[in-house]
Amino acid sequence: MYRRHFIATGLLSAVTGLAQASTLDSNKAKVNTPARTILVLGDSLSAEYGLKRGSGWVALLEQRLQAEKIQASVVNASISGHTTAGGRSRLGALLAQHRPSHLIIELGGNDALRGLPLELSQDNLTQMTQAAQKTGAKVLLIGMQVPPNYGKDYGTRFAAMFSAVAKANKAALVPFLLKGVADGPDSTALFQADRIHPTEAAHPVMLGNVWPELKKLLK
């Protein structure tokens, strides 16, 4: 009887030990799983200009991540009116502070509005992309297009700037953030009174343009 009790106690201890070890391994795996942070560096299109807080595409991105059970946090460092030069000047401190696993660069539109040289804008985008990649972050460039009144040649070169930077640095690219918004049959309905900034209804479409490319980087 005592021998049977001893054997049973030993088996129970072994099973308990295996269960505890499994739990510890599971907890250890969770601890060792690197937290992912998506840093968004953009202008008014990402900073919810003219919108109620929480309705822009970046806020909708946070909701999408939660819905798809993707473990990642979002830091929106976008500022209305920002240019590529402004983003470049801030990026170093942002990388050091947030240590993002992913960087989304949505800048360049204000460069065009201010008539800044394309070569300067392209250099700024390149430097930002490379700086982030050196820290191990994956980069997603968000492209823009300008209205026809800028001229066909300028418009073509401006749009090509984003793809050139992405290709040269092996970064991901969304060719046009406002696809389905600015090029639709009744695009004015999706813009605020200034005809520059999209309405709240347009932001799910904008996220729809960003999400497929970002999701690939999150795998």
Catalytic residue numbers read 44, 194, 197
DSSP 45-94: TTTTTTS-TT-SHHHHHHHHHHHTT---EEEE---TT--HHHHHHHHHHH
- Helix (H) or strand (E) run with residue 208 in it: helix 203-218
Q: How far is CA 172 from CA 19, 156, 208, in A?
A: 43, 20, 15
From residue 123, alpha-carbon distances to 10, 42, 64, 118, 178 in Å are 69, 17, 32, 8, 23
